[in-house]
Structure 1
Amino acid sequence: MHPHLKKVGDTSQLYVQDKPFLVLGAELHNSTASNVKFLQSVLPRLVEYSINTIFLPVSWEHIEPEEGTFNFNLLDGVIESVRSHGFHIGLLWFGSFKNGESAYVPTWVKQNPERFPRSVIWKDGYLTTTKTLSVFHENNVEADAKAFQRLMGHLEATDKDNTVIMVQVENESGVLWDSRDRSDISNKLYKENVPKELLSHLETAQLAQQFKTRFPKVSESGSWESVFGRGENTEELFMSWYYAKYIDRVAAAGKKVYPIPLFINVALNIADSLPSKVWKRPNQYPSGGVLPHTMDIYNAATSHIDMYSPDIYADEFEEFCDAYRHGGNPLLIPETRRDYYAAERVFYAYGKCKAIGVSPFGIDSVWEESALYKTHFGLLKQVSSQILEAQAKNKIFGFHFDDRAVSRPLVHSFGNITAHIDRIHSYGKPQSGFGLIMQTSDNKFVGIGYGYTVQFSSSTDHRVEIMSVEEGRYVDGDWEQTRLLNGDETASNSRWQFASVNPDYGDYHVPLCYPATTGLSICNIYVHKNLYGMFP
Structure 2
Amino acid sequence: MIRRLFAAAALLSTVTAAQAQGSAAPAPLPRLVDAHGARQLEVDGRPFLMLGGELANSSASDRGYMAARWPALAAMNVNTVLMPVSWELIEPAEGRFDFAMVDGLLADARAAKLRVVILWFGSWKNSMSSYAPAWVKRDERRFPRARTADGTPLEILSPFVPANATADARAFAALMRHLKQADPQRTVLMVQVENEIGMIPEARDRSAAADRAFAAPLPAALGRRGSWTQAYGTGADEAFMAWHFARYTDVVAQAGRREYGIPLYVNAALPRPTAVPGKGYPAAGPLPHLAELWTKGAPTIDFLAPDIYYPNFVEWTRRYAALPRNPLFIPEAGQSGAADATGNALFAIGALDAMGFSPFSIDTIPAEGGARLASLYRLLDGLSPLILARQGTDRLWGARAPIAFDGTADLADQTTVMAGYRLSLRFTDPWTPKEKQQPAEHGAIVLATGEGEYLIAGRGVTVTFAPADGRGVAGIEAADEGRMEAGRFLAERRMNGDQTHQGRHVRLPPEEFTVQRVKLYRYR
| TM-score, structure 2 normalization | 0.88
Aligned equivalent of 1:334, options 331, 334, 347: 331
Matched, 1:497 2:507: yes
Residue type at the aligned position of 1:10: G
- Is residue 2:311 matched to residue 1:315? yes
Aligned counterpart, 2:457: 448
| Aligned alpha-carbon RMSD (Å) | 1.8
3-state SS of paired residue (2:68): helix
Counterparts of 1:62-141 in structure 2 under 5 Å?
A: 62-122=89-149, 126-141=150-165
Q: Distance between the aligned counterparts of 2:151 and 2:134, measured in 1? A: 25
> How many angstroms does 1:485 deviate by?
0.5
Runs of 4+ in 1 over 6 A off after TM superposition: none
Secondary structure in 2 aligned to 1:457? strand
State whether residues 202 and 277 of structure 2, in contact with CA within 8 Å, keep that contact through their aligned partners in structure 1: no
Aligned to 2:433: 428
Q: How many Å apart are 1:196 and its aligned residue?
A: 2.0
Mapped to 1, the partners of 2:77 and 2:176 lie a distance apart of: 28
Q: Contact (CA 8 Å) 1:466, 1:524: kept in 2 or not?
A: yes
Q: Is the 8 A contact 1:363 1:370 kept in 2?
A: no
Unaligned runs of 5+ in 1: 200-219, 271-276, 502-515, 531-536
| 1:325-375 per-position Cα deviation (integer Å, ceiling 9, x unaligned) | 122311111112221022331111111111111111112114235232122
Opposite residue 399 of structure 2, the aligned amino acid is: F
Structure 2 spans left out of the alignment, 5+ residues: 1-27
Q: Which moved more, 1:288-297 or 1:392-401?
A: 392-401
2:225 to 221, 225, 235: 221
Q: CA 1:98 to 1:369, structure 2 compared with 1: closer, same or farther past 3 Å?
A: farther
Measured at CA, do residues 370 and 428 of structure 1 come closer, stay the same or move farther in structure 2, by a change above 3 Å? closer
* CA shift for structure 1 position 402: 6.8
Q: Deviations over 1:244-264 (max 9, x none)?
A: 111112111111121111110
Q: CA deviation at 1:473?
A: 0.5
Q: Show the counterpart of 2:415.
A: 411
Percentage of pairs with the same residue: 34
Q: Which amino acid aligns with 1:99?
A: N
1:401 Cα deviation after fit: 2.9
Distance 2:516 2:172 in 1: 46
- Output the amino acid matched with 1:74: M
Q: What does residue 534 of structure 1 align with? A: none
Conserved? CA contact 2:33–2:40, under 8 Å = yes
Judged with a 3 Å threshold, the aligned counterparts in structure 2 of structure 1 residues 99 and 175 are, in CA distance, closer, same or farther, namely same
* Comparing 294-303 and 153-162, the one that deviates more: 294-303
Between 1:284-293 and 1:346-355, the stretch displaced more is 284-293
| Preserved contact between residue 2 and residue 162 of structure 1 (Cα < 8 Å) | yes
Which residue matches 1:351?
Answer: 350
Give, in whole Å, the separation in 2 of the partners of 1:425 and 1:370: 25
Contact 1:22–1:356 (CA under 8 A) maintained in structure 2: yes
**Do 2:41 and 2:355's aligned partners in 1 also have CA atoms closer than 8 Å?**
yes
- 2:463, 2:331 → 1: CA distance? 31
**Pair 1:427–1:62, CA change in 2 (3 A):** closer
Deviation at 1:10, TM superposition (A): 2.5
**Contact 1:317/1:342, CA 8 A, preserved across alignment:** no
Judge conservation of contact 2:81–2:116 (CA < 8 Å) in 1: yes
CA positional deviation for 1:94: 0.6
Query: Which letter does structure 2 place at the counterpart of 1:250?
Result: V
Q: Aligned partners of 2:339, 2:498: CA distance in 1, in Å? A: 28
CA distances 1:383-422 after superposition (whole Å, capped 9, x unpaired): 1111111114342111113796452111112254321111
Residue in structure 2 matched with residue 370 of structure 1 by the alignment: 369
CA contact (8 A) 2:419 2:453 kept: no
**Closer/same/farther in 2, CA of residues 469 and 179 from structure 1, 3 Å limit:** same
Q: Which amino acid aligns with 1:421?
A: L
| 1:383 counterpart SS class | helix
Quote the Cα distance in structure 2 between the aligned partners of 1:375 and 1:60.
36
Deviation at 1:323, TM superposition (A): 0.7
AA paired with 1:285? Y
- Could you tell me the TM-score, scaled by structure 1's length? 0.86
1:154 counterpart (153, 166, 178): 178
Shift of 1:47: 1.7
Listed as ranges, the matches of 1:478-497 within 5 Å are: 478-497=488-507
Establish whether residue 177 from structure 1 lines up as the match of residue 179 from structure 2. Answer: no
Number of residue equivalences: 483
Is 1:178–1:284's contact at 8 Å kept on the other side of the alignment? no
Which secondary structure does the structure 1 equivalent of 2:361 belong to? coil
Which is worse superposed, 405-414 or 443-452? 405-414
Q: Name the aligned partner's letter for residue 413 of structure 1.
A: V
